[in-house]
Structure 1
């Protein structure tokens, strides 16, 4: 029998972006823009992505890594306030093992630099999964790509 466990943690990432809140929010709400900065598995053999950005809508991402491992992410949007806030929940499966379930709040505030974004993730880590530092690192890398996307759009 598989040993079952759950532990909880959270983390917060704050970023300032050189764009107004409406543009930063759009990078989260437009499926093409979202995939361009949030896909951290560009070496994948195959991937699927779909997003229905509305209250109760779903986002699905599946990727098969070069070594054959399947990663699946399922999200549901709980609250969306245009240009101000997004709240969603998601889980991650690696192969057939669910490693975590999370609740995320992303807030956007106008600032002197453009937008101050606060990302808060509350995680339930399942059945021995403990690599929170990898999750934080991957999330920060995505936000680095989001900043590049916003800077490129500003210069276009």
Structure 2
């Protein structure tokens, strides 16, 4: 069956960081740290408009290019197990319309003295959005910055 208005993809990324799961988890839980590493590219800065890192809490983040907001990301947390996992959904909208939604599952697994991060993204792009490739590329970039932050 094909869909004309919805495309979807599932991607799993794994990274190993030479620091504890608690340290890597903290970089996700702390909104200021997330602002530093979480951008999808070097050209985009994140502005945290609202933050509530708790089960059923919501974060609202504007993706800024200079002084101009180019996208709004709303994250709703569904499961948080400190130092172990975070499961949330995020809607990604341009200024005109919804571009897509992702289910994000981050697992923080002990790996010797470090952490193996397993990130699973299930993304739906709507109405011709090129979001699928953008989400994967954005997370690849963000995970590199996360590694620098927690090093």
TM-score range, shorter chain: 0.7 to 0.9
Partner of 1:34: 34
**Larger C-alpha radius of gyration, 1 or 2?**
1
Runs of 4+ in 1 over 4 A off after TM superposition: 41-46, 66-69
Partner of 1:50: 50
Superposition RMSD in Å: 2.2
Q: Which moved more, 1:22-31 or 1:128-137?
A: 128-137
Partner of 1:142: 142
Unaligned runs of 5+ in 2: none
Partner of 1:154: none
TM-score for both structures, normalised by structure 2: 0.88
Unaligned runs of 5+ in 1: 152-156
Distance 1:22 1:97, change over 3 A: same
How many residues end up aligned between the 2 structures? 148
Distance in 2 (alpha carbons) for counterparts of 1:33 and 1:66: 20
Partner of 1:95: 95
Distance in 2 (alpha carbons) for counterparts of 1:5 and 1:83: 38
Distance 1:44 1:142, change over 3 A: closer
Distance in 2 (alpha carbons) for counterparts of 1:132 and 1:51: 25
Q: Secondary structure at the match of 1:135?
A: helix
Distance 1:75 1:42, change over 3 A: same
2:35–2:47 contact (8 Å) kept in structure 1: no
Q: Secondary structure at the match of 2:117?
A: strand
Q: Give the CA deviation at 1:116.
A: 0.3
TM-score for both structures, normalised by structure 1: 0.85
